């Protein structure tokens, strides 16, 4: 068997996307993950590809914008090769505005979105009564409707990437020796390992709990209300999430905190009352110290690289992260934005 040019350790959103980007450029790739595909937070339920607010613009927000705009082409190519749907859809998002200050800020962001989003998407303040029964209650009678937000199904994206890689003979292995350039995309466990190696914290894990309901809302926008993401999936289910827990004993257990999330979602959108909960899920998301993705060469470890820290925005950032890392691994081009570099977290 031919030697691999790139070994990707980790079969989550970043790892599989980087493997796919390298493969498309003609590299020989192997993917290694002892826990299997999407075993961490990339195997969750929610799948909200939502932008940061269009103000106080910085490199992180620009990077995310470019990645969200790449998403349709990226995921369509994966689906076409592997024949498995990702559940991707740029269906937009509604957010209720519950006080005068929130309404004022939203109107200001209408203006800044036109500049920062480059005319590729809109941030509009709308009357809630104009949007029908799917619109969540709003104390001011107004909501934000943005057309940049998209949804996908995390597990289906992982399966779709696996299928596309498999067409080219790449299967996820439980173990294999390093070959070629090595990318460590190993989630929160990897951040803990890096913290030990570097003798200082570069990040940690934040547990999240979410739920899946049997509720077919159709092709409607996702909602963000009371701090919750409410995501109608293409398969007739609806995801709700999630908690953010810094301290936890069991990374995979659900508890009363999730029941509270479900209750809050039903209050935010009364249509959900009585919907069957078909799955409860918990997992740990990797949060780098700067909250931005952690990308680049592993200091003092030749031909080893890091791609981690996709906290809450991993799938949204994945298309652009994959491109940037393929540039670095295969072309030697360092296009990593300021604030994303490994050394920025040390």
Give bridge partners of residue 326 from the DSSP assignment: none
Which pLDDT does position 291 carry in this prediction?
86
Write out the residue range of the structural domain in which residue 75 sits: 6-90+149-203+289-345
- The Cα 233–Cα 217 span in angstroms is 8
The rounded distance, in Å, linking the Cα atoms of 257 and 319 is 32
pLDDT at 343: 85
For the chain, list residues with pLDDT below 50.
none
Domain-embedded: residue 267: no
Q: What is the CATH number of the domain that holds 30?
A: 3.50.50.60
- Domain total of the chain: 1
pLDDT of residue 324: 97
Transcribe 19-34 into DSSP letters: HHHHHHTT--EEEE-T
Task: Taking the CA atoms of 28, 31, 37 and 40 in sequence, report the sign of the dihedral they define.
Answer: negative
Q: Would residue 126 count as lying in a domain?
A: no
Within-domain flag for 254: no
Q: Is 50 inside a domain boundary?
A: yes
CA–CA dist 311, 305 (Å, integer):
19
Predicted local confidence at residue 345, as pLDDT: 77
> 261 lies in a domain?
no
**314-326 and 59-82 helices cross at what angle (nearest 10)?**
90
Q: Can you point out the beta strands (E) in the chain?
A: 6-9, 29-32, 48-49, 93-97, 123-127, 142-146, 150-151, 172-173, 181-184, 203-214, 222-225, 228-232, 237-241, 276-288, 294-297, 304-308
Predicted TM-score (pTM) of this structure: 0.95
pLDDT score for 2: 73
Among candidates 123, 148, 151, 147, which has minimal Cα distance to 49? 151
pLDDT at 310: 87
Please tell me whether residue 206 adopts helix, strand or coil conformation.
strand
Quick one: tokens of 282? 């918990």
The C-alpha R_g of the chain, in whole angstroms, comes to 20
* Residue 16, domain member (yes or no): yes
The set of residues, in sequence order, having a beta carbon less than 8 Å from that of 248 and lying 6+ positions away, is: 207, 284
For residue 138, is it within any domain? no
Q: Are 295 and 306 in contact (CB under 8 A)?
A: yes
Residue 335 lies in a domain: yes
Q: How far apart, in whole angstroms, are the C-alpha atoms of residue 218 and residue 323?
A: 32
């Amino acid at each position: 068997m031919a030697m691999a040019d790139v070994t990707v350790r980790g079969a989550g959103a970043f790892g599989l996307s980087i493997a796919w980007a390298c493969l498309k450029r003609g590299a020989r790739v192997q993917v290694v993950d002892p826990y299997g595909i999407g075993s961490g937070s990339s195997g969750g339920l929610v799948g909200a590809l939502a932008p940061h607010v269009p103000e106080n613009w910085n490199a992180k927000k620009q990077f995310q914008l470019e990645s969200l705009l790449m998403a349709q082409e990226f995921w369509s190519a994966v689906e076409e090769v592997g024949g498995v749907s990702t559940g991707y859809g740029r269906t937009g998002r509604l957010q209720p505005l519950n006080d005068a200050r929130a309404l004022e800020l939203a109107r200001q962001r209408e203006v800044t979105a036109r500049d920062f989003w480059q005319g590729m998407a809109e941030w509009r303040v709308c009357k809630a009564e104009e949007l029908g029964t799917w619109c969540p209650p709003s104390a001011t009678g107004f909501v934000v409707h943005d057309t940049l937000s998209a949804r996908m199904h995390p597990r289906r994206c992982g399966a779709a990437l696996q299928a596309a890689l498999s067409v080219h003979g790449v299967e996820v292995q439980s173990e294999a020796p390093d070959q070629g350039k090595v990318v460590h995309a190993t989630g929160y466990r990897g951040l803990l390992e890096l913290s030990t190696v570097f003798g200082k914290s570069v990040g940690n894990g934040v547990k999240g709990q979410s739920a899946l309901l049997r509720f077919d809302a159709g092709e409607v926008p996702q909602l963000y209300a009371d701090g919750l993401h409410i995501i109608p999936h293409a398969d007739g289910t609806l995801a709700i999430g999630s908690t953010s827990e810094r301290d936890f004993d069991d990374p995979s257990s659900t508890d009363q905190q999730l029941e509270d999330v479900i209750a809050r979602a039903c209050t935010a959108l009364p249509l959900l009352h009585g919907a069957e909960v078909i799955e409860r899920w918990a997992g740990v998301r990797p949060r780098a110290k700067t909250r931005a993705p952690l990308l680049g060469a592993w200091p003092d470890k030749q031909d080893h690289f890091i791609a981690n820290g996709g906290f809450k925005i991993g799938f949204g950032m994945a298309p652009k992260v994959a491109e940037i890392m393929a540039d670095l691994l295969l072309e030697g081009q360092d296009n990593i934005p300021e604030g994303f570099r490994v050394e920025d977290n040390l």
